[in-house]
Structure 1
Amino acid sequence: MTAADRSARLRGLIAPGLAALVCLAILVGLGVWQLARKGEKEALIARIIERSHAEPPAAPPPFADWDPKADEFRRVRAGGILLHDRETLVHGLAPGEPGRALQGYYVLTPLRREDGTTILINRGFVPTELKDPQSRAAGQVGGETSVTGMLRGSEVRTMFVPESDPARDAWFTREIPAIAAARGLTNVAPYLIEADATPNPGGWPRGGQLRVDLPNNHLQYAFTWFGIAACLVGVFSVFAWRRLHDPMEPGAA
């Protein structure tokens, strides 16, 4: 092979080489991002577990500075009167028999506090057959009551979750501002409380549905991206070696 041929073949590697470098940078970046997400998820899980065992203080005032990253999953206590006539049912699933989920609703009931402010309380899950409040009237606590649970922000709708329709009273995510507006609530906190597993009268709704066993597959995802990056390096190395050392150019007669 002459020097001119070798130089021509090297020039022919510039475009595929640049494309491979761009793809490699993206793949490595995705792997590094997954490692960062792994650290964030582990910190979140540790924070949830730590807070779930802490003595619950009073819930913060509704109009205090609310920082979901810092305040979510904090265990708190709130007292007031539950407004059962303004409850909202949000479609959802709950663990049932092994390998089978129960279909039903999460019951969000406003808690009117002594100072006139309101907090939405996710009191727990009811199966579809108990959708009608009259079928679980025993669980409608009257008078002053106290609720203990975890602080949560509004639920973010994902791609595969239908959009809520307040006009039809069909809710698929726990959207605090939208629910408050639909129920005519004022002075509503920007967070809700996920009630703990303290049994309700009559057994329903069933609280304590918040799970701390959050999936943490980010290390697996990182290895996947790094593996694809390694395959890309290997494939391009073979391609470049053959391009530079084959006696004939690809496609030559």
Structure 2
Amino acid sequence: MTDGNTARQPLWVTAALLGVSAVLIVVFVLLGNWQVRRLVWKQELIAAVDARAFGEPAGVPTPFDPHQHAYLRASVDGRLLDQPAVLVKAVTGSGPGYWVMSPIKTDRGVLWVNRGYVPAEVQNPADWSPLSLPITGLLRPGVSGGTLLERNDPAAGRWVSRDPMAMSKALNLGPTLPYFIDADHQGASGTWPRGGLTVVRFRNPHLAYALTWYAMAALFAAALAYLIWSGRVARRL
């Protein structure tokens, strides 16, 4: 006849499972709490950006703080420089193409204007509507270097990110502001470049993430309770 004690789980295994489950419960709760804090931060960010982007146009701030002034709706005047536009690779809801970047001279330095999107077959400036001043749009911090997959190549005239400082350096334009302005669309509705395409939308999945972590904590808590219960039952046998 088999001894009932031999069927019992070793005490150290039970203790290890209890310890691991307890640690995981704490970790999952902490991760859920972190996602709740991220949720509050993201909601505040969305509210702040909405207030900046859809309010009355302001002046250009000095100094520019990307945390406070990104997507600020602003109006700026200046003088259009006699420089060819820089085409920056773009992928939009209208398909692949280019952002048309043109520099203007302001009393604070050179400011690059993103006039908008053109498809690959509309690269000829003769097909574009003229740029008129003053310009109203959204301020955006420059993106230096390039993207995760591609790098800017100023010597070859190949641009994949809107980097005002590097573009001015390549054209010897002098002191340049470290941000650009996404201009509203100018001209008739069907003309190019197509301005006003800035996407002011942020993903906010933090509530779903928080609920996922809390659910995992609850599952491990249930498993922990089962281990404790089954251990007591085994000791009674």
What TM-score, normalized by structure 2, do the two folds share? Answer: 0.80
1:127 to 115, 119, 124: 119
Q: Deviations over 1:79-137 (max 9, x none)?
A: 112336342222222223xxxxx111112211112x36111111111112123434x2x
Aligned match of 1:139: 129
Deviation at 1:160, TM superposition (A): 5.0
* Deviation of 1:243 (Å): 5.3
Structure 1 residues 233 and 58, CA gap change in structure 2 (3 angstroms): same
Distance 1:193 1:236, change over 3 A: same
Displaced runs of 4+ in structure 1, greater than 6 A?
156-159
Pairing 1:26-65 to 2, within 5 Å after superposition:
26-60=27-61, 64-65=62-63
Is the 1:84–1:140 Cα contact (8 Å) retained in structure 2?
Answer: no
- Rate the CA distance shift 1:205–1:76 in 2: closer, same or farther, 3 A: same
**Whole-Å separation in 2 of the counterparts to 1:77 and 1:163:** 31
Aligned to 1:118: 110
Q: Which runs of 5+ in 2 are unaligned?
A: none
2:217 alignment partner AA: A
One of 87, 90, 93 as aligned partner of 2:91 = 93
TM-score, normalization by structure 1: 0.75
1:67-78 equivalence runs, <5 A: 67-78=65-76
SS in 2 for 1:145: coil
Deviation at 1:158, TM superposition (A): 9.5
Matched residues, number: 231
Give the Å deviation of 1:164. 2.8
Kindly provide the CA deviation profile for residues 25-45 of structure 1, in whole angstroms up to 9, marking residues without a partner as x.
333233222222222222222
Letter in 2 for 1:72: A
- On the 8 A contact 2:25/2:220 being kept in 1, the answer is yes
CA RMSD in angstroms, aligned pairs only: 3.2
1:123-182 per-position Cα deviation (integer Å, ceiling 9, x unaligned):
111112123434x2x4243xx721101111123789854333333333222233333322
Q: C-alpha separation between the residues in 2 aligned to 1:86 and 1:173?
A: 17
Q: Determine whether 1:176 maps to 2:177.
A: no
Amino acid at match of 2:35: Q
**1:165 correspondence with 2:153:** yes
1:227 aligns with 2:220: no
Unaligned runs of 5+ in 1: 97-101, 248-253
